[in-house]
Amino acid sequence: MFDLSPSTQTDSFKERNVLFPILSADFLTRPVSLGSAEQTDFSLLSQLALQNNWVWNKQLVRSLLRNQHRTIVVTDPARVIQYVSSGFEKMTGYSSKFAIGKRPDFLQGTRTDMLVKQKLRTQFSAKETVKVDLVNYKKSGEEYICRVEIEPICDTSGELKHFLAIEWDITTTTP
């Protein structure tokens, strides 16, 4: 499980033998400064974490928010969107107001691979980490290839509270 808690040290992933696939060990230990949009995103995520008693790593989330090519999407266990970072609108064309309360499959369409969708459902049911590339659609109807890495987030008692997805458009650039 992805550890996301105020008391968690930045090296907690190494100590617990938990790896988040898009991060290297040195990335976890560098200090991170955020711009105003990222700071707002971090504050909103912190509130969500506090309300739901998440086990989480603040430094890791700050690092993720700092990368302009990525967006963060948080869903509840039923995969209903609870939060999207400020990069979501830039990547998809949809506002956070539109996205919150919907399931992420509103971004999918005719060329979205059904086998990938099945893999997502299976790994969600098993509360496992998942990494996939899938065809999504922007508000304009334009296709893009979205790389998604999803981690289950539990509270301090081990109960699944949310899924945290790191997403980025790899159609023309790969971060």
**Fold assignment, 12-169:** Beta-Lactamase (3.30.450)
With a cut of 90, say whether residue 149 has pLDDT above it: no
Instruction: Please give the residue that has the higher pLDDT: either 139 or 158.
Output: 139
What is the mean predicted confidence (pLDDT) over 67-84?
86
Name the 3-class secondary structure at 58: helix
With a cut of 70, say whether residue 157 has pLDDT above it: yes
CA-closest candidate to residue 18, choices 33, 32, 31, 28:
28
Q: Domain spans of the chain?
A: 12-169
User: What's the pTM value of the predicted model, to 2 decimals?
Assistant: 0.69
With a cut of 80, say whether residue 31 has pLDDT above it: no
